[in-house]
Amino acid sequence: QVQLVESGGGLVQAGGSLRLSCAASGRTFSQCTMGWFRQVPGKEREFVARISRSGGSTYYADSVKGRFTISRDNAKNTVYLQMNSLKPEDTAVYSCAAVMTVYSHYDLSRAYEYDYWGQGTQVTVSS
């Protein structure tokens, strides 16, 4: 079992930056591939970024590539999402997610592939 708690959301002007954190409980964090997703009311949850267990491999949605950076600190059981050059269209509730068993057919950009979720943190970007 993994419990996830996000923090770091808030209100920021366009062009600004925020860093989200996701703290995980339990001793299995280093065994989990971690992802960030976001959702706005009335829309499906959207993949943002993911990071491998060791942190050596990352992958981003095209909409955030070059602006967002995902990282992790396994000693602190925490995954981060550094968000730069924020745009109003980045406004959403951001949630982190964890998956322990990655099957060969997973591409890890689909929400249903993840086992554990945080409650989310609101990010609002004003124009």
**Is the pLDDT assigned to residue 52 strictly greater than 80?**
yes
d(CA 123, CA 121): 7
**Is the pLDDT assigned to residue 27 strictly greater than 80?**
no
Among 103, 126, 122, CA closest to 20: 122
Mean pLDDT, the chain, whole residue set: 96
**Is the pLDDT assigned to residue 45 strictly greater than 90?**
yes
**Cβ of 38: how many Cβ atoms within 10 Å?**
23
- Length in residues, the chain: 127
Strand partners, 37: 47, 95
The pLDDT assigned to 67 comes to: 98
The pLDDT assigned to 1 comes to: 83
Is 95 strand, coil or helix?
Answer: strand
**Is the pLDDT assigned to residue 114 strictly greater than 90?**
yes
